[in-house]
């Protein structure tokens, strides 16, 4: 299972990195400018979905009927979900910051000359910062889009966790009510009352 998860993470990172590199090399700068509003809306929708879900996850813990060991297990599961949500939230904030930064420049080409030393000789290349930032934005957008599929799965897990906890609490209440009804319906031994009275008189 860990091998499959590791392979999935490597493949995911390779995919988003490849998309970013291809976009940085081939995509025209004008395309980024047209997509800015769409990406900003996408980031806003993700944040709007994440914030209430993170609050729900942080307040979902309740005492469980099977003791502290199970509570510790539930707590660790919720903590993993919150960490996952926090990761998506930080990626979305970073995407928004990059969109804001590039919008300030009007998506104009910003070229930075860079000296490369090849076999002792100096070589000057022009690094297009705007294209690099555009490639990073594409990679971040793709990564967030992929992570949102896991976001839906995480919400499902939180629901199952909350439902299981509520069911256990309900079973405990039903068991306690059953014991109370049974003890109330049992006839009382009259000799107990006589013994108590005699005991009080002898003292």
Tens digits of residue pLDDT in 80-124 = 888 888 889 999 999 999 988 888 877 777 777 766 665 555 666
- CB atoms closer than 10 angstroms to residue 98: 17
Residue 23: the pLDDT is 85
Residue 139: the pLDDT is 92
Residue 95: the pLDDT is 92
Please name which of 32, 27, 73, 97 lies closest in space to residue 168, comparing C-alpha atoms: 73
The mean per-residue pLDDT over the stretch 36-65 comes to 80
Tokens representing 161?
């966790």
The whole-model pTM stands at 0.69
For tokens 């996952």, name the residue. 84
pLDDT of 195 higher than 60? no
Residue 186: the pLDDT is 55
C-alpha distances in Å from residue 126, one per residue of 22, 77, 122, 171: 18, 49, 13, 69
Query: How far is Cα 12 from Cα 139, in angstroms, rounded to an integer?
Result: 11
Tokens representing 116?
């490369």
């Amino acid at each position: 299972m860990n091998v499959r998860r590791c392979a999935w993470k490597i493949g995911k990172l390779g995919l988003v990195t490849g998309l970013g590199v291809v976009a940085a090399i081939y995509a025209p700068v004008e395309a980024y400018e047209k997509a800015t509003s769409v990406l900003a809306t996408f980031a806003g929708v993700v944040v709007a979905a994440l914030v209430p879900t993170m609050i729900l996850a942080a307040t979902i813990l309740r005492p469980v009927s099977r003791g502290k060991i199970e509570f510790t297990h539930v707590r660790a599961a919720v903590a993993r979900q919150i960490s996952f949500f926090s990761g998506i939230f930080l990626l979305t904030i970073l995407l928004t910051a990059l969109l804001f930064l590039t919008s300030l420049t009007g998506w104009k080409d910003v070229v930075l000359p860079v000296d490369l030393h090849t076999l002792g000789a100096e070589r000057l290349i022009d690094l297009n910062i705007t294209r690099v930032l555009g490639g990073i934005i594409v990679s971040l957008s793709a990564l967030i889009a992929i992570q949102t599929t896991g976001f839906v799965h995480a919400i499902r897990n939180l629901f199952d966790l909350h439902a299981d906890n509520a069911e256990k609490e309900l079973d405990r209440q039903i068991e306690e009510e059953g014991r109370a009804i049974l003890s109330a319906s049992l006839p009382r031994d009259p000799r107990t009352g006589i013994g108590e009275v005699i005991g009080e008189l002898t003292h």
